[in-house]
A and B are shown apart, each in its own frame.
Chain A
Amino acid sequence: MVASDREVVRGPEQVKWIQFAPYFAVATILVVLPLFLSSYTQGVMTRFLVFALFSAGYNLVFGYLGLPSLGHAAYFGAGGYAVAVLKLHYGTDLFWLGVPLGILTATLIAALFGLIALRVSGLYFLLVTFALGQLLFSVAWNVKWLNSPGMQGIAGLSFPSFGIPGLTVNSTSYYYLVLLITAFCILALHRIVCSPFGHALVGIREGEDRMRALGYNTWLYKYIAFIISGAFSGVAGVLFAYYNYMIDPNHLGVGTSFLPMCMAIIGGMGTLLGPVLGAAVIISVELVASIVTPDRWPLILGGIFVLTIMFARQGIGVYLVELSKRAGYPYGSTKG
C-alpha cells in the first residue's frame, strides 16, 4: 500500500485481494528471479536495492518534508567509509561491527550537518547541503588515513563475514541479505510516514507557519527527520560498500547526491514506493548503457534527467497509480 498524506478512507468491502496483487508479483520477482541469474546480474539487482533504499530514505526529507537536500551522498558515503576504514585499518569485515558503526557515523554526520543546514530553507538549504557534501568529499580526498596507499578511495573490500564458522557470503546470499534489510527499512519508513510524526512532516511541507501556530516545534521535527533520513542513507552506504569492493570520494560527492533526487522525481516524490520505482528505471538504463555505450553514459543519464523533468514531472509512479485508478483498481493513493 502506498502511504501518503491523504490516505483515502475505504470501507472494508473496498479492500480486495486484487489490490495487493502487484505487490505480490513484484515481491515474487525479487525473491525468485535472482536464483536464475548470473552473479553479475545479481550484483546489478543488489545495486538496485541499495539505491532503492538510499532513495526512499532520502525521500523522507525531499518528498515528505519538501526540503531539497543535495548532500545526502555525504551520509551514504560516510556509512561506506566506516566499513572501508574498518577493513583497511583494523582488518575486519564483520557484519555485526560494520553496520552499527556505519549507521552511527552517518547519523552523527547528519546530526552535525543538520544543525548547520536547517538554519536556512529553500534555495539556501540546497546550496548549503551541497557545499557540506563537497566538504566531506574534499576531506576524503585529502586525508591519507581515508585512502588506500597509492590511490584515491579504499579498495579491497569484500562481502561481510558473520563470525559464524562455515558460513561464507557469496553474491546470491548477499543479495538476499540486502533484500531483507531493504524490505525491513522500507517497512520502517512506512511506519514512520504513517505515524503522527510523518503526517506532521507533510504538514510542515504544506505550511510551516500553520504548524508552528498549532504548537509544533517545527525545527525539531525537521531536524529529527533529517537525521533519520541520514541514518537510512548510511545503511544504504554500508550495503553498497560491501557489494562494490571499493569506495572513493565520488561516493560522497554531488554526482552521487543527485541519483536519489532523480530517482525520487522519476518515480514520484512524496510517495513511499515512487523512489523504488525510480531506482529500478535508473539502474536498468545504467545496465543497458554500460553494455552498449559506456563512454556516453553521462550523456544518457543527463538525457534522462532532462526528459524526466520535461515529460514526467509528477513521476512515473504517480502516473501509474492514476492509470490504475482510472482502470478501476485503486492500488494506492497519490498526493493531491
Chain B
Amino acid sequence: MENLVINLLNGLSYGMVLFLIASGMSIVMGAMNIINLSHGVLYMIGGYVGWTVAVKLGAPFALGLLAGGLAAGLVGLMLERGFLRFLYKQPNEQVLLSFGFVYILSNLSLWVWGGWPRMPFTAKFLSGSFEILGRAYPKARFATIVFGLVLAGILWWLQDRTRVGAMVRAGMDNKEITMGLGINLERLFAIVFFVASFIAGLAGVIGAQLLGVYNALGLEILLLALIVIIVGGVGSIQGALLGGILIGLVDAFGKALFPRFAMFTMYFTMIIVLLLKPRGLFGRKV
C-alpha cells in the first residue's frame, strides 16, 4: 500500500515535469507547424540559469525560476525570429536547423557551465520531507505536482477560454482565413513561441528539483517530450497533460515492478498507443 502511494506520487511528479516540457513543444508543433528539437536544450538552459541564480548567487528559488524561464524564452525567441520563421512549412529544414542548435547550445553551455552535473536543488521551505504512511517523502516532489497542475490549469484556460487562445486555435485550423480576419499571426506566433520556450525554461528549474541538471539532459528530455507528444497527440494542452501523467506513471511503476525493463516500459506504451491510435490520444490533424 505504501509502495503504491509512493510510486503514484513519484509518477505524478515526474509526469508533471514531462507535461511541462511537452506542452510547449506540442503547442508550437500544432499551432505553428514548427518542430523545434532544441526545445529540450531550452529546458536545460533554464535549469542551468536557475541553478546559477538560486544556488550560486543564493537568490530565492522563485527568482531562479523566473530567470530560468526568461533565459530560455529569450533564446527561443531568438531562434524563432532569427531562423525558424523563414522555414514555415518546411519540416525537414526545421528539424535539421533546430538539431544544429541542439549541438551548438549544448556545446556552448558545456563551455559556460562545465561538464559536472548539478545536484537537485530547491527552495529553502521546500527542502526536507513530509511523512506519508510512515515514510519520508520529499516536499519538493509535492511542490512539482502542485506547480504542474496549476500551470496546466492556466494553460488550459489560456487555450480554451481566452481571445489569444481562440486566435491560436483558429490559426491551427486555417491560417489564411485567420489572417484574412485581420489577426497578426506573425506576431501571435512569436508570442506563442516565446511562451512555449519560457515554459520549457520553467520546467528546467522545476525539473531540476528532481533530476538536477547535466549536459546530456537536453537530448534525454527531448526524447521524453517526443514520447509524451506521440502518446498524447500534437497540439493540445490536454494531450500533453494526459500523455505526461501516463508516461510518468508507467515509468514509476515500471521501475518498481520490472526494474530490469524499466527503460522499455515507456516505449511499449508508446508503441501500443501508436498501434491503437496512430495520432495519439488527443491528436489533432497536422
Contact = CB atoms under 8 A, between A and B. Distances in A.
Contact of B271 (A116, A134, A254): A116
A82 to B, nearest CB: 21
A97 interface: no
A282 interface: no
14 contacts: A68-B92, A70-B95, A116-B275, A119-B275, A120-B279, A123-B286, A128-B230, A134-B223, A261-B95, A302-B100, A305-B99, A309-B87, A310-B86, A310-B97
Contacts of A128: 230, 274
Interface of A: 62, 68, 70, 116, 119-120, 122-124, 126-128, 130-131, 134-135, 138-139, 141-142, 254, 258, 261-262, 265, 269, 296, 298-299, 301-306, 308-310, 313
Interface residues of B, number: 39
B249 interface: no
Given A119-B278, A302-B100, A305-B97, 15 more contacts: A116-B271, A120-B279, A122-B91, A122-B286, A123-B29, A139-B264, A254-B223, A262-B96, A269-B92, A296-B107, A298-B103, A301-B100, A303-B100, A309-B97, A313-B93
A68 B99 CA distance: 14
Interface string B179-204: 00000000000000000000000000
B147 interface: no
Contacts of A142: 263-264
A123 B274 CA distance: 14
B41 to A, nearest CB: 10
Contact of B226 (A131, A262, A306): A131
A265 B226 CA distance: 23
Nearest to B87: A309
B106 interface: yes
A123 B91 contact: yes
The 5 closest A-B pairs by CB, nearest first: A305-B100, A302-B103, A302-B104, A302-B100, A299-B107
Label chain A's interface by main secondary structure.
helix
B270 interface: yes
B131 to A, nearest CB: 35
A119 B274 contact: yes
Contact of A68 (B95, B229, B263): B95
Contact of B93 (A116, A120, A301, A309): A309
Contacts of A302: 99-104, 107
B137 interface: no
B59 to A, nearest CB: 30
Interface string B75-106: 00000000100110011110111011111101
Contacts of B96: 258, 261-262, 265, 305, 308-309
B22 to A, nearest CB: 12
Contacts of A138: 263-264, 267
Nearest to A130: B226
B148 to A, nearest CB: 23
A306 B93 contact: no
A126 B35 contact: yes
A131 B103 contact: no
A309 B100 contact: yes
B278 A306 contact: no
Contacts of B230: 124, 127-128, 131
